Amino acid sequence: MKVEKKDLEKSQVELKVEFSLEEFTPFLKRGAEKISQEIKIDGFRSGKIPYDVLKQKIGEMAIYEEAVRIAINKTIGEVIEKNTNNQAIGQPKIEVTKLVPGNNVEYKIVLAMLLPIKLGEYKDLKIKKQEIKVEEKDVERTLVSLQESRASEVLVEREVKNNDKVLLDIKMFQDNVPIDGGQSNNTAVLLGKNYIVPGFDKELLGLKKGDEKKFNLPYPKEHYMKNLAGKMVDFQVVIKDVYERALPELNDDFAKTVGAKDFVNLKEMIEENIKLEKEKEVNQKTEKEMLEKIIEKTQFEEIPEMLIDHEAKTMLAELEQSITNQGAKFEDYLSSIGKTRNQLTLDILPEALKRVKASLIIREIAILENIKVEEFEIEENIIQMKKYYGDTKEVEDKINTPEYRNYIANVLNNRKVIEQLMKWNVVEK
């Protein structure tokens, strides 16, 4: 394996890795074995399909593509370590630059190198932590939500009344033009909850199954859907079904259905959960304020764009995952704010830059203060990950790679540094 190193602008390095055909042959065998375990060919056992038969069935390029993935995963860690003296940061950009059956194989790595930074003050910043209070209305709100989630529902043939659940088809228009994402079928609406916009559910009162109605309502000026905020929207609805809902009584029996001993214990559990959630929010806010102060006091050289771009893409993926987990579509969210993915990525860049700077600061402080993760801590984390995801061969293969261990070590080390910084800098109000 031959490696050529080339210095690029903005503290970046390019590593060109080349395998001779002889060096690449073992990866070809492993690639063929992996593919042969995933496809079926009559007359051959899984994982035992000869190379020539596999080549005829799927084409030799498919085997090469699988082999180069294996080769990269196997060699990239060693290549980076030997050629950068552990000074590389962030995620590398990888590109296969030569892949032709019967010839040498080549891939390229572009890395950002550790930037020298001049740390300012990072101790005794006296960041005030917000006091945590759980009010009775917080507990009541959660109780009502639990009660609503366990309401009984009965299909009825009558007019819509308050507190009913209604299934309906909705069409939304603005100036007689259908609104993108404003058409939905069999949508559930709980009356009394101000669904969509204030006043929407009141328009349904008195209707019954099969009824159609047209009406218009103004969207609030502060509505999160900026393209509709403050504007009049026309609605067309068709009632599909009406359900009468009955809420369970909030008592000891109800408490037991959600795992509490009695109603008093349920309120105590809710209060504790709310407190933990508020503590998490306050800690995140305090940590953000602390890191921003340290960033202000730190001097940085020019930061490679690939670090910022990668962080922005990570943040966009996190946002998309969060929205998807709530049962919404990311495309609908983009439509609601009137932006494309690229436009939203540009909006994220300033915050991505802050996160990159914070990462560089944390790394520098870890070195200066000799904050390290012990091997047993990594092992404990890996054991927990196996328990969480299930101790299967696929999970074990991924977790046992050097790259994953390095990732876990980095995450744990960052956490240790943040915890120490919080001790040095945060004071209770």
pTM metric for this prediction: 0.70
Sequence-distant (6+) residues with CB within 8 A of 348 are 312, 315, 316
pLDDT at 391: 65
Domain match, 173 and 44 both: no
Domain match, 280 and 395 both: yes
**Least confident residue range of 66-80, 102-116, 121-135, 393-407:** 393-407
Antiparallel, parallel or unpaired: β 177-190 and 152-156: unpaired
Domain match, 241 and 287 both: no
Instruction: Check pLDDT > 90 for residue 46.
Output: no
**Token pair for residue 140?**
């009541």
CA 90 remoteness from chain centre? 18
**Token pair for residue 188?**
């559930």
Domain match, 162 and 104 both: no
Domain match, 363 and 237 both: no
Of 7-21, 37-51, 326-340, which one has max mean pLDDT? 7-21
Q: Specify the DSSP class assigned to residue 134.
A: -
Q: Name the nearest CA neighbour of 310 among 115, 171, 121, 111.
A: 111
- Express each pLDDT in 180-221 by its tens digit: 878 899 999 999 887 778 999 999 999 999 999 999 999 988
> 58 — alpha (psi -120 to 50), left (phi > 0) or beta?
alpha
Does residue 188 sit within a domain?
Answer: yes
- Express each pLDDT in 127-156 by its tens digit: 999 999 999 999 999 999 999 889 999 999
Domain match, 284 and 424 both: yes
On whether the CB atoms of residues 155 and 243 are closer than 8 A, the answer is yes
Domain match, 305 and 191 both: no
Domain match, 231 and 280 both: no
Does residue 370 sit within a domain?
Answer: yes
Q: Amino acid letter at 255?
A: A
Does residue 184 sit within a domain?
Answer: yes
Domain that residue 211 falls in: 152-246
Does residue 35 sit within a domain?
Answer: yes
pLDDT at 112: 86
- Express each pLDDT in 5-18 by its tens digit: 998 887 789 999 99
Q: What is the CA radius of gyration of the chain?
A: 29
pLDDT at 271: 96
Q: Average pLDDT for residues 368-372, to the nearest whole number?
A: 93
On whether the CB atoms of residues 338 and 227 are closer than 8 A, the answer is yes
On whether the CB atoms of residues 213 and 207 are closer than 8 A, the answer is yes
Domain match, 162 and 291 both: no
Give how many domains the chain has, as a whole number: 3
**Token pair for residue 356?**
């990159």
Give the domain CATH number at 373.
Answer: 1.10.3120.10
Q: Average pLDDT for residues 153-177, to the nearest whole number?
A: 94
Domain match, 240 and 298 both: no
Last residue of a domain, one of 230, 246, 262: 246
**SS3 assignment, position 207:** coil
Domain match, 279 and 420 both: yes
The residue ranges of DSSP E strands in 146-231, in sequence order, are 152-156, 165-174, 177-190, 212-218
- Express each pLDDT in 275-317 by its tens digit: 999 999 999 999 999 999 999 999 998 888 888 998 999 999 9
On whether the CB atoms of residues 136 and 274 are closer than 8 A, the answer is no
In this structure, what are the phi and psi dihedrals at residue 386, rounded to the nearest 5 degrees? -65, -40
